[in-house]
């Protein structure tokens, strides 16, 4: 068995003491994590790196410098929550692992994609009321009666896949039945 490497999430700073621990927490295989880190590609919308091998700023620059098709109609995009400026929707897509179509539609409608909002940097910032709040639906485990604030919250507390809970709302995941809890 090789040396354990600490894995760090670029966006959140969360650390995992091994690839296996990161894989279990994220819900993907350890081989997938290693391949994505080497390629500089996101995993479920987040970038990870091996601690001590590349500084976060160098990693971001690597992603920005990846080959891309020239787009003569590209427009700057700004993340509302962080203020980070991207040179195009394509760059947002590559850096955050969100499809260009989802970013475009979220910008057009003021909705959140992966929990964050964007707007064009070459236009005035839209008024705050344009941006719709992040969508979180409460879910209930019918066996226990416990209501969780969101699918993510339920997944973290029960160690059941968020995809499983989301697709099982009105169904079964992790041996439990789930439903959306309306207030």
Taking alpha carbons only, the member of 135, 136, 139 closest to residue 155 is 139
Between CA 26 and CA 32 the distance in angstroms is: 11
pLDDT, tens only, 36-56: 887 777 888 787 888 777 555
SS3 160: coil
Cα–Cα distances (Å) from 5 to 28, 34, 39, 119, 124, in that order, read: 17, 11, 17, 37, 44
Confidence of residue 119 (pLDDT cuts 50, 70, 90): very high
Between CA 161 and CA 88 the distance in angstroms is: 32
SS3 53: coil
Mean pLDDT, residues 5-32: 85
Mean pLDDT, residues 58-62: 66
**What are the beta bridge partners of residue 120?**
77
Residue 144 has which token pair? 């226990």
pLDDT given at position 1? 47
Q: Residues in the chain, how many?
A: 183
pLDDT given at position 165? 74
pLDDT, tens only, 62-114: 666 665 555 567 889 998 888 888 888 888 888 878 888 888 888 888 888 87
Q: What is the pTM of this model?
A: 0.43
Contact criterion met (CB below 8 Å) for 168 and 149: no
Q: What percent of the chain has pLDDT over 90?
A: 4
């Amino acid at each position: 068995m090789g040396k354990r490497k600490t894995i760090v999430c670029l966006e959140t700073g969360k650390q995992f003491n091994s690839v296996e621990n990161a894989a279990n927490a994220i819900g993907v295989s350890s081989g997938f994590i290693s391949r994505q880190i080497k390629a500089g590609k996101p995993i479920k919308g987040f970038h990870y790196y091996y601690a001590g091998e590349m500084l976060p700023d160098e990693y971001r620059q690597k992603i920005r410098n990846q080959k891309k098709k020239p787009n003569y109609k590209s427009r700057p995009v700004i993340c509302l929550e962080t203020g980070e400026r991207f040179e195009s929707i394509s760059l947002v897509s590559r850096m955050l692992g969100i499809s260009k179509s989802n970013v475009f539609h979220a910008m057009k409608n003021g909705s959140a994609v992966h929990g964050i909002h964007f707007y064009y940097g070459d236009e005035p910032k839209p008024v705050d009321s344009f941006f719709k709040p992040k969508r979180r639906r409460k879910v209930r485990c019918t066996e226990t009666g416990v209501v969780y604030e969101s699918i993510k919250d339920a997944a973290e507390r029960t160690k059941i896949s968020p995809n499983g809970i989301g697709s099982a709302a009105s169904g079964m995941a992790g041996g439990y039945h789930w439903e959306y809890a309306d207030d």
